[in-house]
Structure 1
Amino acid sequence: MKSRFPMFQRTPVAVAVALLMPLHASAYTASVNSGAVVYDESVTTGIQSIGTNGTAHRTTVSGSGSQNVFQNGVSYDTLVDGATQNVSSGISHGTLVNNGGTQVVNTSGIANDTVLDASQQTVTRSTANRTLINAGSVQTLDVLAIANDTQVGPAGVQNLSNMAVANGSVINAGGEQTLRRGLLGGAVANDTQIQGGTQSVYDTGTAYNSTVGNGGQVNLYSGAQANGLVAQAGGTVNVMENGVKTVDSLTLDGGRLAFAPSSDGSFKTFTVNALSGSGSILMNTDIANQRDDLLIVQGAGLASGDHTLIVGDTGHEPVTADGRLRLVDTNGGIAKFGLYGGHVDAGAFRYTLQQQGDDWVLASSGAMPLEPVDPVKPVDPAEPLEPVVPVTPPRPIDPAPEHLSKGANAAIAAHTAGASLWGAQMNALVKRLGELRMGKDDGGVWTRAIGKRFDVSERSSRAYTQDVSGLEIGADKAFSVDSGKVYVGGMLGSARSDLDFGEGASGDIDSRMFGIYATYLNDNGVYVDSVLKYSRFDTDIKTPSNLGQAVKGSYSTNGIGADIEVGKRIDLQDGWFVEPQVELTATRTQGASYTASNGLRVKSDNLDSLQSRVGSLFGRSLQLGNGMQVQPYVKASYITEHAGSSKVEVNGNKLDARLPGNRLELGFGGVLQVSEKSKISLDAEYAKGNGIEQPFGVSLGYRYLW
């Protein structure tokens, strides 16, 4: 903006300079007219009148003083410091109004290049050109007022009503322009640039050719009219209420159209005659009750561009999973629409965007399809009818994971992951106690740390990645029996499982356990190891909504497990040995129920697992020079899951949950005697099988003898 008083346009320093201008001049010319010209006067009390053809330059008006510019009078570069300047049928150039001062422009007055700093300007039946509205300032355009090329800065406001018109306003970040109804009607804004600020258009207000970007917003309320809207990158057009009048054209040039959520749960319809460009459209739906926001492109064939629909749903369970909900009616045209995130979750199921003629709808393929029923053989009507054998109801087919919501998939995966955590803790003897035959072992205390990863695929139930870490401590005592020893002990431990369900969903399981064990070692190499454990599982699940908001659920449950392992150490020559083993592990993870923060209701049955393992160790016992021993080994096992099926009910829909299947396990390890009373053990393994891969599994233990 060009001003005849540029020193007042920007900084507090400029204001201070103006305040230091000749304030010592207490006398002033009260009436300036008939071609008179005055310079650098100060008005602290009373009124200075600039009348017919009079001119005043650089006047300072402060205190209780005021300046009236009327009947073709002209003022230049006036400083209004907390006082008042009235411009009525006169002209002001470059006035600076600050410290709560006021400039009133009415009755065909003209104000050019006014700067407002924490002050106000009121314009009625007059014109204001190139006004700069700084922080804390308000320009009010009332009856038939006209404002041209106004700049609205941070915390500045331009208000229009009663048939006022604003042309070419620029609303910068933090600034605001409002178009409201008055007694004489609404207001009009033409060619407004909203660059980080806000334009709000209320009933009877009209905005022509507004362009919004850089974080700016255009808010449209009931009865508002907006034509030629352009939303650039970072700009948003908000549909605040129902009843916005038809917009003749909306161009999304990287910007966004947003249907604002309603506090009363209602939805909105927004109609445009033409839609073009490429951008995003934020909408709200209630799939459960078949209600939603709707965008209508009214002009035949006037829908074009590529647009992304961002849909936020209530998440409640629909009455039927195969419903459809119309989001956009294009009335023809070549516009293409995609769905942000690829789907919308509603209850147990997910909905995808489909084109049906001129409409773009949300639809779900998650309804549980039924197996076809064999047709009944027709009965000959000429013969007596026999009772028809009742047909067994068809078994529902479990929907695929891609048809279920993130919350449903996470609930199923978390249910099976708890049982997988059991598997990480119920391990072979060598992982827990190392080699009991090494040294004089009559019992001791021990500890071990575990770390594992499971990658579970959809072939088992639901895909997820599980990272397990844990720590156990225990103690035992050996008792001599015929031809061997029996170790009896107890243990405590905790473990944590971090879960990644994909699609931004995650979870964690914290486990605390205690158990008892008994191990029999026969002098002929046979051993029997038995374990009984109890665990408490605390599970937290977090899934993102379609808009990225966190949906949380948590529950606690219990588990009990038993393990028995039988093997035999067969010594070969030169310290080599082979140790065939069989192991059977049985666990039960208690079912649980919870309600997620979005209302998703989950109830799971008990999950039973029965796993068998058949394998062998092959290693060598070596005597070290210091009298200590080391025993490296390699191993191979095959694990079979004999149970592992359960049900998870999500909002009344019963879904299958299955544990990963059979797998081959390969590994290596060793036990090192570091002193007469200390032993260290290490075991590492890799496994892969039906629906599961274990990229790594490590167990590191330490045992100290009594």
Structure 2
Amino acid sequence: MAAVQPLVFDAELENVRERLQARKMAGRDDSLWMTQYNTRNNVSTSAGAEFKQTLGGLIMGIDRLSQYEKSSGTLGAFFSYSHSNIDFSRGGEGHVDSYSFGAYAGLQHESGFYLDSIAKANLFDNHVKGRMNSGGAADGDYRTWGIGAHLESGIRLSNNKWSATPYMAFTGFTGSAQKYALSNGMQADVDTTHMLRAEAGLGMDYRLILSNGGELQPWLKISVRQELADNNQVTINNRDRFNNDLSGMRGVFQTGVHVKITDNLTGHLSAGYGDGAGVQSPWRATVGMSWSF
């Protein structure tokens, strides 16, 4: 279960990143927004633990766009809830309820340069029901905390309709250590869980103005992500020690569309796929709305 927490954190984080990407379409200074998101991860760790994670959640936020002489800035806050169902390949299951809150800030210069930052904290309620080699079952519950941050910078190169955005980003996460026991007396000692990731990518979008005054902005993004953290230890019964190592490189493809419906109302859809470093994400999908006032 320890390997699940960074995946939950990252799935929630993606929605805030997309919000910062879409903020320029909001018609006025202040906005309320929400996104419903779903994702699937097929995971294989270096410790031999294989599982499938199906996550669904909802995120809500509020932000303000401020105009300066040669730039604009976004400042916002958000709250998110998600539920993950976990199916272990060796038998057994679990689920994780995640509650998170955070803040974000973005700066866009008229030259095209931008800088985005996000800080987020999570509370994870974990339940695991394992299947023993003897055929019996055992279950247990435990709670952990996590904190993390994301920093991204790039330059938006555009003409009237097309734009291309090369960027680099860094993401870090730390989950609290925890000791817990299953109903059969088995003890688990989970060390502090880490994620440290470097990312480089390219985004492209096209702005289409409709005859009724609305706008469509389809976009796509391709990125390469290198996970650097490789020491996430779990000890069972003070004897057997395992490392949930998900370090390595993976590729991610994302696409979507922003829709300006009125001066006050926008919507968005997105989908994604990722593979590599022990994690295959066969699908990710989001849908959301933003209301400006």
Shorter-chain TM-score: what band? Answer: over 0.9
Q: Does 1:587 align with 2:173?
A: yes
Runs of 4+ in 1 over 3 A off after TM superposition: 458-461, 545-549
Deviation at 1:507, TM superposition (A): 0.7
Counterparts of 1:505 and 1:568, CA distance in 2: 47
Q: How many residues align?
A: 292
1:661 Cα deviation after fit: 2.9
Instruction: Note if 1:431 corresponds to 2:18.
Output: yes
Tell me the SS of whatever aligns to 2:211. Answer: coil
Q: Specify the alignment match of 1:575 in structure 2.
A: 161
Report if aligned partners of 1:432, 1:448 keep a CA contact under 8 Å in 2: no
Q: Which letter maps to 2:226?
A: T
- Provide closer, same or farther for how the CA distance between residues 428 and 509 of structure 1 changes in structure 2, counting only shifts above 3 A: closer
Instruction: Tell me, in whole angstroms, the C-alpha distance in 1 between the residues paired with 2:112 and 2:16.
Output: 14
Measure the CA separation in 2 of the matches of 1:537 and 1:590: 10
Distance 1:616 1:499, change over 3 A: same
Partner amino acid, structure 2, of 1:624: L
Find out whether 1:615 has 2:166 as its counterpart. no
**Distance across 1 between alignment mates of 2:59 and 2:247:** 25
**Per-residue deviation, residues 356-403 of structure 1 (Å, max 9, x unmatched):** xxxxxxxxxxxxxxxxxxxxxxxxxxxxxxxxxxxxxxxxxxxxxxxx
For the residue of structure 2 that corresponds to 1:662, the secondary structure is: strand
Q: Which residue of 1 aligns with 2:250?
A: 663
- The secondary structure found in structure 2 opposite 1:426 is helix
Counterparts in 2 of 1:483 and 1:696: CA distance versus 1, 3 Å: same
Shift of 1:540: 0.5
Given that residues 434 and 671 in structure 1 are in contact (C-alpha distance below 8 angstroms), is that contact kept between their aligned partners in structure 2?
Answer: no
Matched, 1:418 2:5: yes
Match of 2:115 in 1: 528
Distance verdict in 2 for CA 1:460–1:469, change over 3 Å? farther
Distance 1:502 1:544 in 2: 10
| Aligned residue in 1 for 2:184 | 598
Match of 2:90 among 503, 515, 535: 503
Deviation at 1:526, TM superposition (A): 2.0
- For 1:620 and 1:425, the matched residues in 2 are separated by 26
Q: 1:443 to 1:568 in 2, by over 3 A?
A: farther
Provide Cα deviations, 1:80-127, integer angstroms capped at 9, x if missing partner: xxxxxxxxxxxxxxxxxxxxxxxxxxxxxxxxxxxxxxxxxxxxxxxx
1:647 aligned residue: 233
Deviations 1:307-363 (A, max 9, x none): xxxxxxxxxxxxxxxxxxxxxxxxxxxxxxxxxxxxxxxxxxxxxxxxxxxxxxxxx
The 3-state SS of whatever aligns with 2:19 is helix
Q: Post-superposition shift, 1:489? A: 1.3
CA contact (8 A) 1:461 1:660 kept: no
Question: 2:285 maps to what in 1?
Answer: 698
Alignment correspondent of 1:444: 31
Counterpart mapping for 1:122-521 below 5 A: 414-427=1-14, 431-438=18-25, 440-459=27-46, 462-521=49-108
Partner Cα separation in structure 2 for residue 509 and residue 429 of structure 1: 20
Task: Give 1:523 shift.
Answer: 2.1
Structure 2, unaligned runs of 5 or more: none
Aligned-CA RMSD value: 1.8
* Whole-angstrom CA distance in 2 between matches of 1:684 and 1:660: 24
For 2:55 and 2:248, how far apart are their aligned partners in 1?
19
Superposition pairs of residues 51-90 of structure 1, within 5 angstroms: none
Give me the whole-angstrom Cα distance separating, in 1, the residues matched to 2:187 and 2:11: 29
User: Do the aligned partners of 2:45 and 2:245 also contact (CA within 8 Å) in 1?
Assistant: no
Letter aligned with residue 636 of structure 1: I
Rg bigger for which structure? 1
Distance (Å, rounded) in 2 between the aligned partners of 1:681 and 1:434: 11
Secondary structure of the residue aligned to 2:6 is helix
Asked if the contact 1:536/1:558 (under 8 Å) is kept, the reply is yes
Q: Tell me: higher relative CO, structure 1 or 2? Use CA pairs within 8 A at least 6 residues apart.
A: 2
| Identity rate, percent | 27
Matched residue type, 1:602: A
Q: How does 1:529-568 map to 2 (within 5 A)?
A: 529-546=116-133, 548-568=135-155
Unaligned residue ranges in structure 1 (runs of 5+): 1-413
**Scaled by the length of structure 2, what TM-score is found?**
0.94
Partners of 2:47 and 2:243 within 8 A in 1: no
